[in-house]
Amino acid sequence: MTEVTLKEVARAAGCSVATVSRVLGGTRPVGPEIALRVKEAAERLGYRPNQVARALRSRSTGTIGLVLPQITNPFFPSLVREVEHALHAEGRALLLADCDDDPATEAARITALLDRQVDALLVIPVDETHSRDAVTAAAARVPLVLLDRGCGTGTADLVATDNASGMALVLEHLAAVGRRRVCYVGAGGRDTAAVERLAAYRAGAGALDPEAPGRVELGDFSWEWGRAAADRILPFRPDAVVCANDLIAIGVLQRLRQLGVDAPGEIGVTGFDDVPMVGLVDPALTTVRQPVRELAAEAAQLLAGRLNGQRDAPRRSVRLAPELVVRASSAPPRAASARQAASTRPPEEDQ
């Protein structure tokens, strides 16, 4: 099939090639009637712009690179989807790179995307410290926004959830339903999501039980670690397990059930992220919902500002408020439920 040219669109629209170029490229304002005529002609003829030629003229490829730690974590596909939608609305395409939780691979992926002449980068860093050199070097070359996780103050713009606020919501909820003997199952990595959630738990758990800040088991953000951790926490005799993400929480719930533990009757469980699968587990998981769409929109907006001439503006750090979603996994413990039912039961009538 022969490629339709600007000259053919101009002939069909009854105007000059320069006018067609202005309308389709958006470089200069054109009267609405002429613009409509050009767009209708282009659509009717099936005109498609040559993106390679456009990139050579404008020195812009219209692409944004995104480097993430591990695509198998179900939180990240949800975030990527919203990022892609936000960028598409601005006429930009997304190139995705997975670094398998390895800082060296992450640095190589960042370099590969820069070699492909991406206009800007979004990075969800693997490690707050070990990712910093590659991120800093890349931020000196193109606009770069850190997403979900930080990489040191002033390294680049950051858009993330307020992890401390999310953990506080969990602990307040557990106290309200009568759970005090809590423990924490988290990730031992040096990414800021892991570090901030653990710190917030240790800062707040003492209000429920003085020993709670020390009842901590650390591994990684996986379902397998959640299952293994369930065996390790039982000697603590907890009445609630606070998990650093939903995958860990699902593993904990499954293993507790396998061990014959009544969850949530004996032990309540909470997660963090609100990935799509949490409503399908039994019991349905109480968790902290990250504002995924808002995270993506803020990141896209920051990148757009940098790309449109705000390269030298001060670095910004945006923290968005999460939401607690209460489901069955954190219902009041069985003994508390029985006491509550007894207190609300009407008195028996004399026989």
Listing DSSP states for 105-129 in one string gives HHHHHHHHHHHTT-SEEEE--S-TT
User: What pLDDT is attached to residue 48?
Assistant: 75
Q: Which of the pair, 255 or 2, is modelled with greater confidence?
A: 255
Angle of the 246-258 helix axis to the 223-233 helix axis, nearest 10: 50
Mean pLDDT computed over 289-295? 98
Going by pLDDT thresholds of 50, 70 and 90, the confidence category of residue 262 is very high
User: What pLDDT is attached to residue 56?
Assistant: 42
Domains and CATH numbers, the chain: 6-49 (1.10.260.40), 63-161+292-320 (3.40.50.2300), 163-291+325-339 (3.40.50.2300)
The predicted model scores a pTM of: 0.81
**What distance in Å separates the CA atoms of residue 68 and residue 123, rounded to the nearest whole number?**
6
Buried b (16+ CB within 10 A) or exposed e, 141-169: ebbbbbbbbbbbeebbbbbbbbbbbbbbb
Listing DSSP states for 156-168 in one string gives SEEEEE-HHHHHH
**Cα-based angle 185, 188, 189 (whole degrees, multiple of 5):** 135
Mean pLDDT computed over 56-63? 67
**What distance in Å separates the CA atoms of residue 83 and residue 128, rounded to the nearest whole number?**
22
Angle of the 292-307 helix axis to the 75-88 helix axis, nearest 10: 40
pLDDT at 54 over 70: no
User: What pLDDT is attached to residue 51?
Assistant: 53
Among residues 124, 241, 134, which one has the least CA distance to residue 192? 124
Q: Assign 3-state DSSP to the chain and report helix, strand, coil percentages, each to 5.
A: 50, 15, 35
* Amino acid at the residue 285: L
The dihedral sign for the CA sequence 348, 349, 350, 351? negative
Instruction: Please identify which residue in the block is written with the tokens 């960042």.
Output: 110
Report phi then psi at 38, rounded to 5.
Answer: -65, -45
User: What pLDDT is attached to residue 343?
Assistant: 46
The dihedral sign for the CA sequence 27, 30, 36, 37? negative
Query: Which pairs count as long-range contacts for 193-199, CB under 8 Å and 24+ apart, including other chains?
Result: 193/148, 193/149, 193/160, 193/163, 193/244, 193/245, 194/221, 194/244, 195/128, 196/163, 196/164, 197/163, 197/166, 197/167, 197/244, 197/272, 198/244, 199/164
Q: Is 53 exposed, middle or buried (0-12, 13-18, 19+ CB in 10 A)?
A: exposed
**What distance in Å separates the CA atoms of residue 69 and residue 100, rounded to the nearest whole number?**
6
User: What pLDDT is attached to residue 24?
Assistant: 75
**What distance in Å separates the CA atoms of residue 163 and residue 254, rounded to the nearest whole number?**
25
Contact residues for 111 (Cβ-Cβ < 8 A; gap 6+): 134
| pLDDT tens figures, 313-342 | 889 999 999 999 999 999 999 865 444 444
Q: Which residues pair with 145 in a beta bridge?
A: 122, 157
pLDDT at 293 over 60: yes
Cβ-based neighbour number of residue 231 at 10 Å: 12
**What distance in Å separates the CA atoms of residue 135 and residue 155, rounded to the nearest whole number?**
7
End-to-end CA distance of the chain: 93
- Compute the CA torsion angle 126, 130, 131, 134 (nearest 10 deg): -150
